[in-house]
């Protein structure tokens, strides 16, 4: 080999937390295997951190710097790995690296969902790679199948459990019959949930991932702002019990689908929210903090991707897979696939999205109430599949509980129905409204 082809590929690492430290360890400890897989040696050029005086066993203190921009724009840096998260300074550092001619591997779902277009444009202009397998579902290989393996097919639906924290909470509520607050506290004590769990339990994390998945699946630009988002904080033990009574399970889902848009053109629906799914569906059996993504396409049919969705080692595995790929491309003098937005499909508003619904109401227990409730649904063009009356567990209301399951209806029609139900004198309270998916 000559000096140019024999020179090690040099990696700048941004962040040295749980994931970053594991990536640094793998680059260092597996150097011989990595060189064999890539065709050239690969080594750390530096690690950007906020504080250089912390103990980081096994890593050379000389590698650490607080000047991240100087590190990513160094002439000897070929590859940059970003695992610091957030919008800034990550966006500025990634753009600086790309413009300096370095290929980038990132796990930053929030940034990709907010401004991926800018990053992809910079990568294309520089003729380098931007890879991001670790941004969605941890170790599960889902980005590359959507971006490469299935690029010759037409994907019609992507539905998944993409947040381990919410899946752990809902799974625990199902198995033990405990309330949301109690399970959340336990999840925090075990490290499954952050001290501030808002991003997880209110659906922000899943919404960012849904935007990325929809953009890849449907070859269109989709941002986190396009995603309809609902959290799981209102899910109660009675909702869990109701799902079990329907042979269903409550899961927090990210759902991306092709829909009929205006003028006959195809459009996209993208949403994340809790939903009941039949126990026969493959996603219903995904327990604990695991993730799974269920893909449907015209030719390949139904595909399921399952595995650990977070954690240092699983996420580092996804980062390393991307790092080896972009390093190989570097050795070959080529770049992998960039952003594919040729379809430019519109994202339809949630009001136009159709699905089935489960509702639970506390009502006055007297003659004519069932007919009045059924009439309210009919007035708003929502067809009722089943309507069941139960004894209300709330003795103070001296009423009954109605459980309603609808046929498919537009979200806007269902919302107007719920508003009208709340105005009826015979309705004490609309206790729960939940979508029924996966049938």
Catalytic residue flag (residue 209): yes
Given the residues 209, 330, 356, 401, select the one marked as catalytic.
209
19 is in an annotated binding site: yes
21 is in an annotated binding site: yes
379 with 330: CB under 8 angstroms?
Answer: no
Give dist(CA 106, CA 134) in Å, integer: 7
HSE of 233, CA atoms in CB hemisphere, 13 A? 11
236 with 221: CB under 8 angstroms?
Answer: no
112 with 363: CB under 8 angstroms?
Answer: no
312 is in an annotated binding site: no
347 is in an annotated binding site: no
Instruction: For the chain, state the CA radius of gyration.
Output: 25
194 is in an annotated binding site: yes
376 is in an annotated binding site: no
331 is in an annotated binding site: no
15 is in an annotated binding site: yes
The count of other CB atoms within 10 Å of the CB of residue 423 is 8
**Pairing between strand 42-48 and 409-410?**
unpaired
215 with 341: CB under 8 angstroms?
Answer: yes
303 is in an annotated binding site: no
Give dist(CA 373, CA 401) in Å, integer: 12
368 is in an annotated binding site: no
For 76, 128, 131, 300, 322, the CA distances from 46, given in Å and listed in that order, are: 11, 20, 20, 43, 19
Show binding-site residues for L-homoserine.
194
Show binding-site residues for NADPH.
109
Show binding-site residues for NADP(+).
14-21
Show binding-site residues.
14-21, 109, 194
Catalytic residues: 209
């Amino acid at each position: 080999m000559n000096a140019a082809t024999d020179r090690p590929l040099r990696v700048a690492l941004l962040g040295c937390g749980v994931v970053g430290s594991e990536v640094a360890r793998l680059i260092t400890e597996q150097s011989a295997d990595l060189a064999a897989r890539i065709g050239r040696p690969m080594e750390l050029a530096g690690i950007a951190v906020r504080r250089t005086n912390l103990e980081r066993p096994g890593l050379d203190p000389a590698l650490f710097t607080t000047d991240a921009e100087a590190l990513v724009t160094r002439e000897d840096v070929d590859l940059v790995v970003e695992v610091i998260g957030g919008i800034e300074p990550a966006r500025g550092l990634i753009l600086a690296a790309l413009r300096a001619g370095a290929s980038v591997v990132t796990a930053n779902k929030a940034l990709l969902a907010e401004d991926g277009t800018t990053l992809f444009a910079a990568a294309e202009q520089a003729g380098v790679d931007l890879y991001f397998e670790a941004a969605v579902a941890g170790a599960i290989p889902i980005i590359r199948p959507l971006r490469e393996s299935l690029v010759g097919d037409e994907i019609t639906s992507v539905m998944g459990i993409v947040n381990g924290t919410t899946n752990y909470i809902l799974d625990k509520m199902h198995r033990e019959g405990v309330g949301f607050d109690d399970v959340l506290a336990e999840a925090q004590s075990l490290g499954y949930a952050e001290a501030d769990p808002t991003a997880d339990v209110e659906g922000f994390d899943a919404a960012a991932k849904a935007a990325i998945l929809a953009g890849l699946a449907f070859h269109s630009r989709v941002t986190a702002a396009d995603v309809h988002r609902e959290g799981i904080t209102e899910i109660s033990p009675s909702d869990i019990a109701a799902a079990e009574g329907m042979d269903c399970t409550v899961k927090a889902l990210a759902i991306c689908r092709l829909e009929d848009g205006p003028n006959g053109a195809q459009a996209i629906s993208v949403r994340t929210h809790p939903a009941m799914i039949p126990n026969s569906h493959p996603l219903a059996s995904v327990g604990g903090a695991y993730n799974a993504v269920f893909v449907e396409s015209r030719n390949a049919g139904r595909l399921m991707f399952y595995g650990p969705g977070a954690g240092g080692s699983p996420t580092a595995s996804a980062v390393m897979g991307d790092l080896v790929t972009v390093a190989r491309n570097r050795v070959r003098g080529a770049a992998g696939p960039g952003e594919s937005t040729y379809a430019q499909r519109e994202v339809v508003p949630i009001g136009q999205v159709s699905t089935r619904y489960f509702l639970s109401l506390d009502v006055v227990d007297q003659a004519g109430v069932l007919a009045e409730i059924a009439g309210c649904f009919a007035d708003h063009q929502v067809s009722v599949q089943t309507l069941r009356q139960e004894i209300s567990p709330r003795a103070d209301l001296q009423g009954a509980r109605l459980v309603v399951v609808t046929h498919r209806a537009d979200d806007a029609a269902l919302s107007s129905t719920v508003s009208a139900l709340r105005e009826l004198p015979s309705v004490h309270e609309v206790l729960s409204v939940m979508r029924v998916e996966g049938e």
